[in-house]
Amino acid sequence: MRIISTFSAPGGLDYGLVKAGHTIAWACDKDGDATQTYAKNVSNDIVTGDIRKVSAEDIPEADVVVGGFPCLGFTIANLQRKIEDERNCLFLQLLRIVEAKKPKYVLMENVPGILSLGKGLIVEEILKLFQDIGYDIYYEILNAADYGVPEVRHRVLFFGKRKNLEKHVVPPQPTHVVNPVMRLDGVMLKKWVTVREAIGDLPEPNHNIPNHQGTKHRVKITGYIGNRPTAWDKPSPTITGRGSRTGGPVIIPHPNLHRRLTVRECARLQSFPDDFIFYGSISAQYAQVGNAVPPLMAYHLGKALCEVADETPRPFKAEEWDLPWLKRETHVPVIQ
Protein backbone atom coordinates (compact mmCIF):
# COMPACT_ATOMS: atom_id res chain seq x y z
CA MET A 1 0.00 0.00 0.00
CA ARG A 2 0.97 3.65 -0.44
CA ILE A 3 2.03 5.41 2.76
CA ILE A 4 1.76 9.05 3.86
CA SER A 5 4.28 9.47 6.67
CA THR A 6 4.05 12.31 9.18
CA PHE A 7 6.65 13.18 11.84
CA SER A 8 8.88 10.75 9.95
CA ALA A 9 12.11 11.36 11.91
CA PRO A 10 14.96 9.27 10.40
CA GLY A 11 12.49 6.69 9.10
CA GLY A 12 12.60 3.71 11.44
CA LEU A 13 8.89 3.03 11.01
CA ASP A 14 8.93 3.66 7.28
CA TYR A 15 12.02 1.52 6.70
CA GLY A 16 10.22 -1.46 8.21
CA LEU A 17 7.04 -0.74 6.25
CA VAL A 18 9.01 -0.63 3.00
CA LYS A 19 10.71 -3.91 3.87
CA ALA A 20 7.24 -5.41 4.29
CA GLY A 21 6.32 -4.33 0.77
CA HIS A 22 4.73 -0.91 1.16
CA THR A 23 5.64 2.27 -0.78
CA ILE A 24 6.30 5.75 0.58
CA ALA A 25 4.11 8.26 -1.25
CA TRP A 26 5.08 11.28 0.86
CA ALA A 27 6.90 11.94 4.11
CA CYS A 28 7.62 15.01 6.21
CA ASP A 29 9.67 16.10 9.20
CA LYS A 30 10.89 19.51 10.33
CA ASP A 31 14.35 18.24 11.36
CA GLY A 32 16.77 18.68 8.48
CA ASP A 33 19.28 16.18 9.86
CA ALA A 34 16.54 13.56 10.18
CA THR A 35 15.22 14.17 6.67
CA GLN A 36 18.74 13.85 5.25
CA THR A 37 19.07 10.51 7.02
CA TYR A 38 15.64 9.49 5.74
CA ALA A 39 16.42 10.47 2.13
CA LYS A 40 19.71 8.53 2.15
CA ASN A 41 18.26 5.37 3.68
CA VAL A 42 14.52 5.14 3.08
CA SER A 43 13.07 7.30 0.30
CA ASN A 44 13.62 10.59 -1.50
CA ASP A 45 9.91 11.34 -1.16
CA ILE A 46 10.39 13.38 2.01
CA VAL A 47 10.13 17.11 2.57
CA THR A 48 11.69 19.18 5.32
CA GLY A 49 9.26 21.53 6.98
CA ASP A 50 6.68 22.30 9.63
CA ILE A 51 3.68 20.06 9.01
CA ARG A 52 1.41 22.83 10.33
CA LYS A 53 2.30 24.81 7.23
CA VAL A 54 1.79 21.99 4.73
CA SER A 55 -1.37 22.14 2.64
CA ALA A 56 -3.19 18.82 2.28
CA GLU A 57 -3.50 19.61 -1.43
CA ASP A 58 0.28 19.20 -1.73
CA ILE A 59 0.16 15.67 -0.33
CA PRO A 60 -0.53 12.79 -2.76
CA GLU A 61 -3.24 10.21 -2.26
CA ALA A 62 -2.38 7.11 -0.25
CA ASP A 63 -3.86 4.08 1.47
CA VAL A 64 -2.37 4.60 4.93
CA VAL A 65 -1.37 7.59 7.05
CA VAL A 66 1.26 6.86 9.69
CA GLY A 67 2.96 8.97 12.30
CA GLY A 68 4.70 8.92 15.64
CA PHE A 69 3.57 12.39 16.65
CA PRO A 70 5.97 14.08 19.09
CA CYS A 71 5.77 12.59 22.55
CA LEU A 72 7.82 15.02 24.63
CA GLY A 73 4.67 16.33 26.25
CA PHE A 74 3.41 12.84 27.04
CA THR A 75 6.40 10.91 28.35
CA ILE A 76 6.75 10.18 32.05
CA ALA A 77 10.33 11.44 31.71
CA ASN A 78 8.85 14.92 31.36
CA LEU A 79 7.94 15.80 34.94
CA GLN A 80 6.23 19.02 33.86
CA ARG A 81 3.92 17.51 31.28
CA LYS A 82 0.57 19.21 30.87
CA ILE A 83 -2.51 18.74 28.72
CA GLU A 84 -1.94 22.28 27.47
CA ASP A 85 1.58 21.51 26.21
CA GLU A 86 1.49 22.66 22.57
CA ARG A 87 3.39 19.54 21.52
CA ASN A 88 0.38 17.51 22.67
CA CYS A 89 -1.69 19.19 19.96
CA LEU A 90 0.48 18.13 17.05
CA PHE A 91 -1.62 15.00 16.60
CA LEU A 92 -4.29 17.42 15.28
CA GLN A 93 -2.10 17.89 12.21
CA LEU A 94 -2.13 14.16 11.59
CA LEU A 95 -5.91 14.24 12.08
CA ARG A 96 -6.17 17.08 9.55
CA ILE A 97 -4.30 15.09 6.93
CA VAL A 98 -6.36 11.96 7.57
CA GLU A 99 -9.59 13.95 7.19
CA ALA A 100 -8.39 15.49 3.93
CA LYS A 101 -6.87 12.40 2.29
CA LYS A 102 -9.31 9.80 3.66
CA PRO A 103 -6.92 6.83 3.70
CA LYS A 104 -8.14 3.33 4.38
CA TYR A 105 -6.01 2.90 7.49
CA VAL A 106 -4.21 4.92 10.15
CA LEU A 107 -1.21 3.82 12.23
CA MET A 108 0.10 6.02 15.05
CA GLU A 109 2.76 5.47 17.71
CA ASN A 110 3.44 7.13 21.05
CA VAL A 111 4.74 6.53 24.55
CA PRO A 112 2.57 4.80 27.18
CA GLY A 113 2.50 8.03 29.19
CA ILE A 114 -0.09 9.37 26.79
CA LEU A 115 -2.65 6.97 28.26
CA SER A 116 -2.54 8.56 31.71
CA LEU A 117 -2.18 12.19 30.69
CA GLY A 118 -5.12 14.18 32.01
CA LYS A 119 -6.44 11.00 33.66
CA GLY A 120 -7.05 9.53 30.23
CA LEU A 121 -8.78 12.56 28.75
CA ILE A 122 -6.21 13.03 25.99
CA VAL A 123 -6.70 9.52 24.63
CA GLU A 124 -10.47 9.80 24.89
CA GLU A 125 -10.30 12.99 22.87
CA ILE A 126 -8.06 11.42 20.23
CA LEU A 127 -10.47 8.51 19.77
CA LYS A 128 -13.48 10.85 19.63
CA LEU A 129 -11.92 13.18 17.08
CA PHE A 130 -11.16 10.28 14.76
CA GLN A 131 -14.66 8.92 15.25
CA ASP A 132 -16.03 12.30 14.21
CA ILE A 133 -14.22 12.17 10.86
CA GLY A 134 -15.21 8.58 10.14
CA TYR A 135 -12.52 6.36 11.66
CA ASP A 136 -12.57 3.62 14.25
CA ILE A 137 -9.39 3.73 16.35
CA TYR A 138 -8.20 1.40 19.07
CA TYR A 139 -4.83 0.95 20.73
CA GLU A 140 -2.51 -1.63 22.26
CA ILE A 141 0.79 -1.42 24.11
CA LEU A 142 3.47 -3.43 22.34
CA ASN A 143 7.02 -4.22 23.45
CA ALA A 144 9.73 -4.07 20.78
CA ALA A 145 11.61 -6.93 22.48
CA ASP A 146 8.71 -9.22 21.55
CA TYR A 147 9.57 -8.73 17.86
CA GLY A 148 13.26 -9.56 17.95
CA VAL A 149 14.51 -6.08 18.87
CA PRO A 150 17.26 -6.26 21.55
CA GLU A 151 15.58 -3.56 23.61
CA VAL A 152 12.70 -3.39 26.08
CA ARG A 153 10.68 -0.58 24.54
CA HIS A 154 6.98 -0.27 25.34
CA ARG A 155 4.98 1.88 22.96
CA VAL A 156 1.30 2.55 22.36
CA LEU A 157 0.20 1.69 18.83
CA PHE A 158 -3.03 3.21 17.58
CA PHE A 159 -4.64 1.18 14.80
CA GLY A 160 -7.42 2.79 12.78
CA LYS A 161 -9.65 2.00 9.83
CA ARG A 162 -12.16 3.96 7.80
CA LYS A 163 -15.63 3.07 9.07
CA ASN A 164 -16.83 1.71 5.73
CA LEU A 165 -14.18 -1.04 5.86
CA GLU A 166 -15.00 -4.31 7.57
CA LYS A 167 -11.67 -5.52 8.91
CA HIS A 168 -9.53 -3.92 11.60
CA VAL A 169 -5.76 -4.11 11.54
CA VAL A 170 -4.77 -6.97 13.83
CA PRO A 171 -1.64 -6.20 15.89
CA PRO A 172 1.23 -8.52 14.98
CA GLN A 173 1.75 -11.57 17.14
CA PRO A 174 5.02 -11.67 19.10
CA THR A 175 7.92 -13.64 17.67
CA HIS A 176 10.08 -13.50 20.82
CA VAL A 177 9.53 -13.89 24.57
CA VAL A 178 11.62 -13.92 27.76
CA ASN A 179 11.94 -17.70 27.54
CA PRO A 180 11.23 -19.85 24.45
CA VAL A 181 7.70 -21.17 24.33
CA MET A 182 5.28 -22.53 21.76
CA ARG A 183 2.25 -20.43 20.87
CA LEU A 184 -1.20 -21.97 20.78
CA ASP A 185 -1.03 -22.01 16.98
CA GLY A 186 2.10 -24.18 17.09
CA VAL A 187 4.65 -21.45 16.29
CA MET A 188 7.80 -21.61 18.43
CA LEU A 189 8.67 -18.24 19.92
CA LYS A 190 12.34 -17.34 20.21
CA LYS A 191 14.13 -15.97 23.26
CA TRP A 192 14.52 -12.23 23.59
CA VAL A 193 17.68 -10.96 21.88
CA THR A 194 20.32 -9.68 24.31
CA VAL A 195 22.71 -6.75 24.34
CA ARG A 196 25.63 -9.15 23.93
CA GLU A 197 24.11 -10.68 20.79
CA ALA A 198 23.42 -7.22 19.38
CA ILE A 199 26.66 -5.32 20.03
CA GLY A 200 29.11 -7.83 21.52
CA ASP A 201 31.05 -8.07 18.26
CA LEU A 202 31.65 -4.32 17.93
CA PRO A 203 35.16 -3.04 18.76
CA GLU A 204 35.81 0.07 20.78
CA PRO A 205 34.60 3.31 19.12
CA ASN A 206 36.41 4.18 15.91
CA HIS A 207 35.88 6.00 12.62
CA ASN A 208 36.10 2.85 10.49
CA ILE A 209 32.52 1.91 11.43
CA PRO A 210 29.86 4.46 10.47
CA ASN A 211 28.34 6.31 13.43
CA HIS A 212 30.50 4.34 15.88
CA GLN A 213 31.35 7.43 17.92
CA GLY A 214 29.71 8.68 21.06
CA THR A 215 29.39 11.17 23.87
CA LYS A 216 32.28 11.86 26.22
CA HIS A 217 29.88 12.32 29.12
CA ARG A 218 31.31 10.20 31.90
CA VAL A 219 29.56 7.20 33.40
CA LYS A 220 28.29 7.68 36.93
CA ILE A 221 25.98 4.96 38.24
CA THR A 222 23.28 6.65 40.32
CA GLY A 223 20.21 4.52 39.70
CA TYR A 224 18.48 7.21 37.63
CA ILE A 225 17.54 6.93 33.94
CA GLY A 226 20.69 6.91 31.86
CA ASN A 227 22.85 6.12 34.86
CA ARG A 228 21.97 2.50 35.56
CA PRO A 229 24.15 -0.50 34.70
CA THR A 230 23.43 -2.12 31.33
CA ALA A 231 23.31 -5.93 31.44
CA TRP A 232 25.00 -7.98 28.71
CA ASP A 233 22.56 -10.87 28.87
CA LYS A 234 19.25 -9.04 28.66
CA PRO A 235 17.69 -6.72 26.11
CA SER A 236 18.75 -3.13 26.72
CA PRO A 237 16.57 -0.61 28.49
CA THR A 238 14.75 1.85 26.25
CA ILE A 239 17.00 3.86 23.96
CA THR A 240 15.85 7.47 24.30
CA GLY A 241 16.26 10.63 22.26
CA ARG A 242 17.74 13.76 23.74
CA GLY A 243 15.46 16.63 22.86
CA SER A 244 17.97 19.29 23.89
CA ARG A 245 20.80 17.73 21.87
CA THR A 246 23.27 19.11 24.38
CA GLY A 247 24.62 15.77 25.52
CA GLY A 248 24.09 14.28 28.91
CA PRO A 249 23.40 11.15 30.89
CA VAL A 250 20.34 9.95 28.94
CA ILE A 251 22.60 7.81 26.71
CA ILE A 252 22.87 4.56 28.64
CA PRO A 253 26.24 3.15 29.71
CA HIS A 254 28.01 0.43 27.78
CA PRO A 255 27.95 -2.81 29.80
CA ASN A 256 31.65 -2.35 30.53
CA LEU A 257 30.65 0.81 32.48
CA HIS A 258 33.74 2.63 31.15
CA ARG A 259 31.83 4.75 28.63
CA ARG A 260 28.40 5.35 27.16
CA LEU A 261 27.04 3.65 24.07
CA THR A 262 27.98 5.00 20.67
CA VAL A 263 25.40 6.02 18.09
CA ARG A 264 25.98 2.77 16.20
CA GLU A 265 25.50 0.67 19.33
CA CYS A 266 22.25 2.49 20.08
CA ALA A 267 21.20 2.02 16.47
CA ARG A 268 21.79 -1.72 16.65
CA LEU A 269 19.78 -1.94 19.85
CA GLN A 270 16.98 -0.17 17.98
CA SER A 271 17.44 -2.78 15.14
CA PHE A 272 18.77 -0.32 12.57
CA PRO A 273 21.03 -2.23 10.15
CA ASP A 274 24.70 -1.29 10.03
CA ASP A 275 24.28 0.06 6.49
CA PHE A 276 21.66 2.55 7.73
CA ILE A 277 23.78 5.71 8.12
CA PHE A 278 22.78 8.66 10.32
CA TYR A 279 23.64 12.27 9.45
CA GLY A 280 24.16 15.45 11.45
CA SER A 281 26.11 16.04 14.65
CA ILE A 282 26.61 13.16 17.07
CA SER A 283 23.95 14.67 19.32
CA ALA A 284 21.57 14.87 16.35
CA GLN A 285 22.30 11.24 15.50
CA TYR A 286 21.55 10.13 19.07
CA ALA A 287 18.27 12.04 18.97
CA GLN A 288 17.27 10.44 15.66
CA VAL A 289 17.96 6.93 16.91
CA GLY A 290 16.17 7.44 20.20
CA ASN A 291 13.09 9.03 18.63
CA ALA A 292 12.60 6.30 16.02
CA VAL A 293 10.35 3.28 15.86
CA PRO A 294 12.57 0.15 15.79
CA PRO A 295 12.63 -0.94 12.12
CA LEU A 296 12.36 -4.64 12.92
CA MET A 297 9.19 -4.04 14.92
CA ALA A 298 7.96 -1.81 12.09
CA TYR A 299 8.36 -4.69 9.64
CA HIS A 300 5.83 -6.68 11.64
CA LEU A 301 3.47 -3.70 11.71
CA GLY A 302 3.83 -3.49 7.93
CA LYS A 303 3.03 -7.16 7.68
CA ALA A 304 -0.16 -6.59 9.69
CA LEU A 305 -1.17 -3.82 7.28
CA CYS A 306 -0.65 -6.17 4.35
CA GLU A 307 -2.81 -8.82 5.95
CA VAL A 308 -5.78 -6.51 6.63
CA ALA A 309 -5.69 -5.46 2.97
CA ASP A 310 -5.41 -9.08 1.77
CA GLU A 311 -1.99 -8.35 0.30
CA THR A 312 1.01 -10.66 0.50
CA PRO A 313 3.80 -9.10 2.56
CA ARG A 314 7.31 -9.10 1.21
CA PRO A 315 9.13 -12.14 2.63
CA PHE A 316 11.48 -11.47 5.51
CA LYS A 317 15.12 -11.89 4.43
CA ALA A 318 17.51 -11.78 7.36
CA GLU A 319 20.51 -11.20 5.09
CA GLU A 320 19.07 -7.85 3.99
CA TRP A 321 19.12 -6.40 7.48
CA ASP A 322 22.87 -6.46 8.19
CA LEU A 323 22.35 -7.25 11.86
CA PRO A 324 24.48 -9.92 13.55
CA TRP A 325 21.78 -11.74 15.53
CA LEU A 326 19.57 -12.11 12.46
CA LYS A 327 22.38 -13.97 10.72
CA ARG A 328 22.28 -16.63 13.39
CA GLU A 329 19.58 -19.14 12.57
CA THR A 330 18.42 -19.48 16.16
CA HIS A 331 17.42 -15.83 16.26
CA VAL A 332 15.81 -15.30 12.88
CA PRO A 333 12.29 -14.03 13.71
CA VAL A 334 9.48 -16.46 13.02
CA ILE A 335 7.63 -15.19 9.96
CA GLN A 336 4.36 -16.90 9.19
Query: Which of the 8 DSSP states describes residue 307?
Result: H
Q: Which residues of 228-250 are buried (b: 16+ CB within 10 A; e: fewer)?
A: eebeeebbbbbbbbbbebebebb
CA torsion angle for 149, 87, 30, 320 (degrees, to 10)? 10
Distance (Å, rounded) from C-alpha 132 to C-alpha 158?
16
Give the CA angle between residues 143, 325, 270 to the nearest 5°: 40
pLDDT in tens, 99-146: 999 999 999 999 998 898 878 888 888 899 999 999 999 999 999 999
What residues are labeled active site? 71
How high is the pLDDT of residue 313? 96
- Where along the chain do its domains lie? 2-172+293-317
Picking from 202, 217, 193, the residue whose alpha carbon sits closest to that of residue 265 is 202
How high is the pLDDT of residue 335? 43
Distance (Å, rounded) from C-alpha 80 to C-alpha 73?
8
Contacts of 120 (CB under 8 A, 6+ apart): none
CA atoms within 13 A on the CB side of 306: 21
Q: How far is CA 58 from the centre of its chain?
A: 26
User: Which stretches of the chain drop beneath a pLDDT of 70?
Assistant: 71-88, 184, 242-249, 329-336
CATH number 3.40.190.10 is the correct assignment for the domain at 2-172+293-317: no
